Structure 1
C-alpha cells in the first residue's frame, strides 16, 4: 500500500510541476524588418500578394503614428528604444550639438560618433545584457559603437549590398550553432525611389511590386530554413512620403541674409541656428514670411511633437506645410518626394504587419504609435524594457491569448531641461511566476501531508502501553 501511495505521490508531483513550468515563456525569436519610406497605402496601390499573405495569416495595423520629425534616423531609433526624439537624442538626420560642439550628418562619416547615440540604449544592447545574441543587417545605428557595444553580429552599412545578401546573413545567424534571438533587417527602398520619382508617380507601381517580391523572397528563405512558423516576423517602416513640386518652394534667401544664420537641417523642417546677436532679426524676418511655412521659437514648439526638450533642437525651426519645400534658394535642387512633415499627416504614416507564433491570425487593428513597438519587442524577447514612451497594453490585442507574458517594469524617461511629458508605462503581471509559486505551494503541502501519513503508518501500534498510561495510579 505504501509503495502505491509513494508512486501516486510522485506522479501527482510530476504533473503539478509540469503544469507549473509549462507556464514559463518559451524563448521567442524576433525578426524586425524595415522597408524605408513604405507609406501605409502602398499596400493597395498595386497588387502586393506577399504583404497580404502576411496580413491574412498574421496581424495588420491600419494607422501607425510615427514620431516628429518624420525622417529616417529619428524614427529608426524610436523603433528600437521606444522614445520620442527629444528623449533619445537623434532629433534629425542632420544635427548640431552645442554642448559637444559637434555636427552629425548623413553626408559625412560623423554619424558614427558614439556620443550622439548614447542618450538612449537600443534594444540589441538590452537583449545582449540579458544573455542573448543579436544580429543586424544594415539597420541604422547598428554599426555604431553605442555604450561600448555593437550587436553580436552586424554588417557595416553599404547600400550596394543586395537584399538577398542581407537576408542570407540574417538566416545564417538565426540557424547557427549559437543562434540569435533578435534580428534586424533594413532596406533603402521604396524611400530612395520615392524621393526621386515622387509617391504619386505611376512609376512607383513597379517599385512597390519589387518590394513585395523582396518580402516574398524573405518569406521563402524563412520557410526553407524552417523558421517561418517559429519566428515572429515584424514588418514596418520609418515614415511615409508626400508629393512635392517646383511650384511649392520657399526660398529663405528671399527673406534672410545667409550670413546671419546657419541652416543645420534641411526641408521640410529647417533647423536654424542664428549667429550671435542675430536671433531676433532672424526670427522676425521669418515669422510671417510665407503662408505655407510656420516658424517656431524652440520654446513654442507644440508639445504634441515631443520635440523641444533637447539641446540638439535649434533655437528656431521653420516647418513647411505638406508638399512644400524649404530651400535657401532653388539652385540647391529639390526632390519630387519628401518626408519629415507633421507626424499627424496620413501621408507620413508607415506600415505595420506581423506574423508568428505570438501573433493572432487575420487580425486588423485600427491604430498604434511607433513608440509601442519597443515594449512589444521586449515582451516577445522576455527582456526588461528600459524607460520608454510606448505602451504594451496598447498593442496587447495583437498577440494570441496564449502568447508569452513578460514583466516589463518601466519608468518615465527623465525629461530634458526639467520638462516634457512622460510616456505611459506599465507593470505587467507574470503568469509564470504566479504559476511557479502556486505550484510550489501545492507540491510542498502535498509532500508534508504525504510524509506525515507515511511516518504514522510506519509506527508500531502500542495498545497495552497506551492502556497502562491511561490507568490511574494505585493507591497504597
Structure 2
C-alpha cells in the first residue's frame, strides 16, 4: 500500500509540474511613444543571493570583464531586512521595505486580515500588497514599453500598470533560455520593443541556502549565471543596437549559519492569546496584542535573553536600518524584534532550516552585502566606487531612460551622478 501511495504522490508531483504556466503574457494595444525610439535601453539583472565577494571569490570572468569596461561598486548595501522579496521591491521602487510594505517574505496584515506569502501566487500577483511605483509602471505611464522576466511583483498590477511583456513566476527556464527570451524582446520592431527589461536568476540563492556560500554547488551556480551574462553580452552585441546598458545587481548576500545550536524562541511568545510572532530565523518579529503590555513584555524578554541575540523595541530600532515603528507605513512589523547575532538563528522545534541564510543587518554582517556591476554607453568606463544603498538603483535607471520620478522615494541621485556619463 505504501508503494502505491508513493507512486501516486510522484505522479501528482509530475502532473502539477506539467501544469506550470510558462507562457508569456503580452498586454495588447501598447506602443512606444514617438520620442522613445531614440532612447537607450536598460536591462536590470538580479542574481538572487549573489554575495558582494562572489565575483572575485569564484572568478566570474564575464562579470569581471563587465566591471573592467564599466562601473563596479565595492558592494551594494541591501535594505533591512536582507531578505529576497523586500529587497527586490526596494530595488525596483527606490523605497525601503517599511515604506513599500513588503517587510518580509511572509507576514500578516492586520488591516486586511490576510497573510502575504511569497509562495502564494494569488497574494504575490495582487498589487494591493505593494506600495510604491515600480520602474516598469513609471516607464509605461510615460510611453516607454517594458518587459520583465520574473522579477518580484512584475505579474501584479502594483503601481497601476503591469509591464507590456511578462511571465508568471516559475523555475522551468534555464538561465540561457531566459537570455534568449530577452534577446527576442530586443528583436521586436521599434514600435513594440521594450526599452526597460528586468531579468531574474534564482540559482545562486538556491545553492547558497542548501549547501552554504562556500560550497562547490554555489560556485557552480555562480559560474552558471556568469555564463548567462557572457551569452547576454555577446548576443546584445550581435544585435547591433548601439545603446544597451546592463545593470547587474543582487538583493542580498549569504552566510553559513549555526544549524547545530539554534536559539530557542522564548516560551512566553507561544501564548497565542497574547502574542503573534513571525520567525524568519535571522529575525523574529513580535506583535503584542494588548498594546498596554508592550513595555512589560519587552522588559521580560530583555531580562531573560542570552548574549546570542538582542531584544529591540521597534520604536527604538536603529535609524540607519529604516525599520522602526516610525517607518512602518503599513503597520506590519510589530512592536518588538528579536535580532540574533550571526551566525545564530531562531528555530522552532521540529522545523527545518538550511545551511546558508540571510536577513541580518548589512552594517554588522558583511556577508549580507550584495553586488553591483554596470556597463554600457550611459556608464563611465573603468570606474570603481564605494558602497551605496540599493534604493539608489531606481534613480540611476530613471536617469538613463529620462523618466520623470513622480513619487517621493528613498533613493538619492548621488550615485547616479558618480557613475553616469553626463
Q: Distance in 1 between matches of 2:259 and 2:223?
A: 28
Query: Deviation digits for residues 1-47 of structure 1, max 9, x if unmatched?
Result: xxxxxxxxxxxxxxxxxxxxxxx995111000000000010011122
Query: Deviation digits for residues 81-136 of structure 1, max 9, x if unmatched?
Result: 1111121111111121212222111232322232111x211111110111110000
How far the C-alpha of 1:184 sits from its partner, in A, is: 0.3
Q: Distance in 2 between matches of 1:161 and 1:261?
A: 42
- Contact kept in structure 2, 1:68 and 1:307, CA below 8 Å: yes
Q: Matches of residues 377-392 of structure 1 in structure 2 within 5 Å?
A: 377-385=397-405, 386-392=407-413
- Contact kept in structure 1, 2:82 and 2:251, CA below 8 Å: yes
- Contact kept in structure 2, 1:124 and 1:151, CA below 8 Å: yes
Aligned-CA RMSD value: 2.0
- Contact kept in structure 2, 1:38 and 1:189, CA below 8 Å: no
Specify the structure having the higher radius of gyration (Cα): 1
Instruction: Give the structure, 1 or 2, with the largest relative contact order (CA under 8 Å, sep 6 or more).
Output: 2
Comparing 211-220 with 379-388, greater Cα deviation is found at 211-220
5+ residue gaps, structure 1, are 1-23, 404-476
Q: Kindly indicate whether residue 258 of structure 2 is the aligned counterpart of residue 239 of structure 1.
A: no
Which residue pairs with 1:293 in the alignment? Answer: 309
- Contact kept in structure 2, 1:244 and 1:337, CA below 8 Å: yes
- Contact kept in structure 2, 1:273 and 1:314, CA below 8 Å: yes
Q: Distance in 1 between matches of 2:220 and 2:139?
A: 38
Which residue pairs with 1:215 in the alignment? Answer: 229
Cα–Cα, structure 1 residues 61 and 27, in superposed 2: closer, same or farther, change >3 Å?
same
Query: Deviation digits for residues 36-78 of structure 1, max 9, x if unmatched?
Result: 0000100111221101110111110112211101011111111
- Contact kept in structure 1, 2:134 and 2:159, CA below 8 Å: no
Match of 1:145 among 138, 150, 157: 157
- Contact kept in structure 2, 1:256 and 1:286, CA below 8 Å: no
Q: Kindly indicate whether residue 283 of structure 2 is the aligned counterpart of residue 283 of structure 1.
A: no
TM-score (norm 1): 0.75
Q: Kindly indicate whether residue 99 of structure 2 is the aligned counterpart of residue 87 of structure 1.
A: yes
SS at match of 1:40: coil
Which residue pairs with 1:335 in the alignment? Answer: 354
- Contact kept in structure 1, 2:140 and 2:161, CA below 8 Å: no
Q: Distance in 1 between matches of 2:107 and 2:54?
A: 30
Q: Distance in 1 between matches of 2:126 and 2:387?
A: 35
Q: Distance in 1 between matches of 2:236 and 2:147?
A: 15
Q: Kindly indicate whether residue 205 of structure 2 is the aligned counterpart of residue 185 of structure 1.
A: no
Comparing 343-352 with 278-287, greater Cα deviation is found at 278-287
Which residue pairs with 2:370 in the alignment? Answer: 350
Q: Kindly indicate whether residue 346 of structure 2 is the aligned counterpart of residue 326 of structure 1.
A: yes
How far the C-alpha of 1:352 sits from its partner, in A, is: 0.4
- Contact kept in structure 2, 1:60 and 1:354, CA below 8 Å: yes
Q: Kindly indicate whether residue 117 of structure 2 is the aligned counterpart of residue 105 of structure 1.
A: yes
Q: Distance in 1 between matches of 2:65 and 2:162?
A: 34
Q: Distance in 2 between matches of 1:175 and 1:25?
A: 14
Cα–Cα, structure 1 residues 265 and 151, in superposed 2: closer, same or farther, change >3 Å?
farther
Q: Distance in 1 between matches of 2:227 and 2:294?
A: 51
Cα–Cα, structure 1 residues 25 and 362, in superposed 2: closer, same or farther, change >3 Å?
farther
Which residue pairs with 1:250 in the alignment? Answer: 263
Match of 1:65 among 63, 70, 77: 77
SS at match of 1:139: coil
- Contact kept in structure 2, 1:368 and 1:395, CA below 8 Å: no
Which residue pairs with 2:89 in the alignment? Answer: 77
- Contact kept in structure 2, 1:273 and 1:315, CA below 8 Å: yes
5+ residue gaps, structure 2, are 1-35
Q: Distance in 2 between matches of 1:226 and 1:272?
A: 54
- Contact kept in structure 2, 1:59 and 1:398, CA below 8 Å: yes
Q: Matches of residues 164-203 of structure 1 in structure 2 within 5 Å?
A: 164-177=176-189, 178-203=192-217
Which residue pairs with 2:23 in the alignment? Answer: none
Cα–Cα, structure 1 residues 383 and 256, in superposed 2: closer, same or farther, change >3 Å?
closer
Q: Distance in 2 between matches of 1:131 and 1:113?
A: 24
Cα–Cα, structure 1 residues 359 and 172, in superposed 2: closer, same or farther, change >3 Å?
same
SS at match of 1:32: strand
- Contact kept in structure 1, 2:40 and 2:245, CA below 8 Å: yes
Match of 1:120 among 132, 156, 161: 132
Q: Distance in 2 between matches of 1:261 and 1:332?
A: 20
Which residue pairs with 1:44 in the alignment? Answer: 56
Comparing 279-288 with 302-311, greater Cα deviation is found at 279-288
